[in-house]
Each structure stands twice: as structure tokens, then as C-alpha cells.
Amino acid sequence: MTSGTNLKKPMDWGTKNKMKYLPIDTDLFVQNRKRFVEQLQPNSIAVFNSNDIMPTSADGIHPFIQQTDLFCLSGIDQEESTLVICPDAKEEKHREILFLRETNEQIALWEGQKYTKDEATAVSGIKTVHWNHEFNTIFKTLVFQSEKIYLNTNEHLRADDSVETRDRRFLRWCRDTFPLHHYRRLAPIMHDLRIVKSPIEVDLIKKAAGITERAFRRLLSFIAPGVWEFEIEAEICHEFMKNRSRGPAFQTIIASGADSCILHYVKNNKQCREGDLVLMDFGAEYANYAGDVTRTVPVNGRFSKRQKAVYNAVLNVHKVAIQMLTPGQTFDESTREVGKVMETELIGLGLLDAGEVKKQSEDQPLYKKYFPHGTSHHLGLDVHDYGDRYRKFEPGMVLTCEPGIYIKDEAIGIRIENDILITEDGPVDLTESIPREADEIEDLMNQ
């Protein structure tokens, strides 16, 4: 799958791209900032901080992953970075500022080269770049010109805020230092800005999906009785990383046998057995954007009669559910309709009784025993990207579609997941070339 023509090289960056991914059109970040500024109140200043490099133990560290709001507005993919936006600053040069970690010979020796000021400008389109030691002086000047300070916190409904972030530390410092200013939340603005993807962003998600497809096709000739779940995971990682991905966009799920019924099984430590199914929920990261695909295949290359019946039931629901992802729909509305289709399939499989379904509670539908999760979530810079679940679907949103049936007593767990772009002309499946028909999967596994 090609990446599209929007992934062009920023002017003057040349061969100095330090990231695995190809340079991104700077216009993405310029336009994102323009849209962002339109939602700020007058006389405001907004601050975005990079993520920290997280420690392990001793002197170990986890790989750095950028704070996605900062990346969305600047394209800067480096630690200890800060973006300040002050649209009404008295001096034009102070209306957009990047603060970066200044490098030296010691840092270059141990960690490699960091952004120069010119490189940061080429990536972001921001002309004013300073080193971090200049932050306090410049920021104080701009704060005293402003009435409102916008700060960022993680307001994702499923966020774990037990670890203090750089944004959280900055919020505390800022309130202590400037207690009489009016404070505002950045999160609602960023949630609104990021929910609809630009054509450049769709191309990046398609690139992540294309890498994910390569990994899946690689697996179809690799999976066989006796392989271990972690060996499958290793094949996925190999294909991801050789195609300019940092690696998985989220923790990979390789669940065989009865564990295919565990929704977020990530141990990946069992041997795959003859007669088992293996459910694989995985997605490549590319340029910080996520792919997210689930496929379920027979370990021996052939579905049993019962496995194929359940698989095709999920596939039928999947196809119908995709067609429901149209402008004007909501998550709740599509979930109700998908639930009705799922009920019919479960009755056909002998798992639900039609009479009992007619008497069921609307708040506790019986299909939830076998399909306990939602059908869709937003996808973008985060795999569970920002999005108001009550907001109607709009062209430019990218959603997953992932129905499943999980029958614990039969050790059958099947989920099929694709990534869907909503358009005025109907849903566009960004992952449609990834095999999902049972017969096609069997044919490819037995070539």
C-alpha cells in the first residue's frame, strides 16, 4: 500500500531526518496550529510539553514516545520540547515558539545529534526556536501580556494518571508562579481538533495499515501447530520495523486456544496447538499514527466446521457494521443496530434462544454474553484516539470496526477488525486488502 503523495520532504531538511519514518509535509502542522488558534479566547497563551523519557530501573529507560498533542501541532519528535502559542503577543516572533534541548558534544557522543534550530523550523514551520534555558524569561514576558493560560491534561476517559507527566508538573509550577491568571483546559480543544483527520493524516494511517497488512500476510505462511505465540509476535515486529515503523502501536495480542476469549490477553507465552484458533490484534505505528487490525486464523490452516460457522457469523456482522459507519450516526445508534444483527447470528449458532431474546432487557441484551465490547473506536495518533462518543460521525473521522464472538466453553474467540474512513459517499475501508474471508485465509495458509 502506497503512502500517497502528501508525505513529501520538507524544504531544506535534506537527508537530516533523524526519524525512521519519511518526512511529513509541514503543512499538516501549520494548518493544525491555524485551526487550534481559532478556538482560543483572546489574550491567551497555550503551552504543550513533550512526554518524559520514562525510566525502568538502574540506568535503563523505555523508548521515547512523543506526547501526541505536541506532535499534532508541531511534528517535533524529541524529548524535553515545549510548544508555546500566544496569538496576541505584541511581537509577531513570539506568537509561535518552540523550546528545545540544546545539544553539546557530550550529548552527541552518547545519544546522537538533536534537532538544530533550522531543522526544527523545517519540520514544524515555526520560525522562532529557542533553547530550554531561555524558557522562563520569555514565558514570563508573554504570560504578563496575557489574561488566560491554557494548559494540557490527559482527559481520555480510560487514561491512567498514576504517573505524573511533564504537563502535570508544569501545571503545578505555573499555578504556583502565576496564581492570579485565568486558567483554561486545552484538552477539549485538542479533542475537537483531532477527531477529524486531514488527507495527510489519512495517508499516514493508510501507511500504518499497509505495514500491518505486510505483517499479516507474512504470518499466514508462518503459523502452524507447534509455533509459540511469542514467535508470531516476533514475526510481526520484524515486519513492522523493517518498514520504517517504530514497532507496535499498542501491546500486541496473540491469543490462541481458550485465551482467544480474553479480550486483552498480552502474555503471548503459549504454544499454538493443532485444532486451535489464534486471535491476533495488532497494528503498526508509523510516524506516530496507529494501525489497528484483528484477524483470527486456524493454527493448522483449516477451520473446523464449527469454527468456520462462528467465523462467518462474525464476518457477516463485520460487513454490516462497516456500512453503518456513515455521517450522522453515533456510537450508541450503531451499537444498537449491530447488536440486533449479532443477536440473529447468535441465534443461528444455537447460542441464544429467540424466545428469550424477545423477553430480554433493553439495558442488558443477551448478546453481551458473547460480544461484551463495543464495535468501534476512534483511531489516529493514539490507537484509542480522542473523540466524544456522543458526537455524530463526520467525514474525515477514522474508526475501527471490530465485532467478535467469544465462546469460552468451546475455546472459540473470534474478532475481525478493520480501519474505516468516514466519507460523504460512504465508508472507505483503509484495510480492505487485508484478507478476511475464511476461504482466502485457508488458501493462503496452505499455499
For 321-374, write each residue's pLDDT tens digit: 999 999 999 999 999 999 999 999 999 999 999 999 999 988 899 999 999 999
Q: Which of 25, 276, 343, 402 is catalytic?
A: 402
pLDDT above 60: residue 15: no
Give catalytic status of residue 59 as yes or no. Answer: yes
Give catalytic status of residue 292 as yes or no. Answer: yes
Q: Mean pLDDT over residues 214-233, rounded? A: 98
pLDDT value, residue 247: 97
- In CATH terms, the fold of domain 27-194 is Creatine Amidinohydrolase; Chain A, domain 1 (3.40.350)
Decide if 257 contacts 273 (C-beta within 8 A): yes
Give catalytic status of residue 377 as yes or no. Answer: yes
Q: Which of 167, 203, 259, 281 is catalytic?
A: 281
SS3 83: strand
**Domain ranges in the chain?**
27-194, 199-445
Q: Which of 33, 95, 194, 377 is catalytic?
A: 377
Q: Mean pLDDT over residues 247-253, rounded? A: 98
pLDDT above 50: residue 170: yes
pLDDT above 70: residue 2: no
Q: What is the DSSP string of 292-353?
A: -EEEEEETTS---HHHHHHHHHHHHHHHHHHHT--TT--HHHHHHHHHHHHHHHHHHTTSS-
Strands 44-49 and 148-151: parallel
The residue type of 437 is E
pLDDT value, residue 4: 38
Q: Which of 185, 306, 373, 389 is catalytic?
A: 373
pLDDT value, residue 9: 39
Indicate the pLDDT class of residue 11, thresholds 50, 70 and 90: very low
Q: Which of 203, 265, 406, 436 is catalytic?
A: 406
Indicate the pLDDT class of residue 113, thresholds 50, 70 and 90: confident
Going by CATH, does the domain composed of 199-445 fall within 3.90.230.10? yes
Give catalytic status of residue 311 as yes or no. Answer: no
Alpha helices (runs of H) in 112-152, residue ranges in sequence order: 117-124, 135-143
Q: Which of 69, 201, 235, 292 is catalytic?
A: 292
Give catalytic status of residue 286 as yes or no. Answer: no
Residues 281, 350: Cα–Cα separation, whole Å: 27
pLDDT above 80: residue 6: no
Domains 27-194 and 199-445 share a fold: no
Q: Which of 191, 295, 415, 436 is catalytic?
A: 415
Give catalytic status of residue 192 as yes or no. Answer: no
Give catalytic status of residue 62 as yes or no. Answer: no
pLDDT value, residue 17: 58
Give catalytic status of residue 406 as yes or no. Answer: yes
Q: Which of 59, 101, 147, 231 is catalytic?
A: 59
* Residue ranges with strand state E in 340-425: 398-401, 404-407, 412-415, 418-421
Give catalytic status of residue 264 as yes or no. Answer: yes
| pTM for the predicted model, two decimal places | 0.94
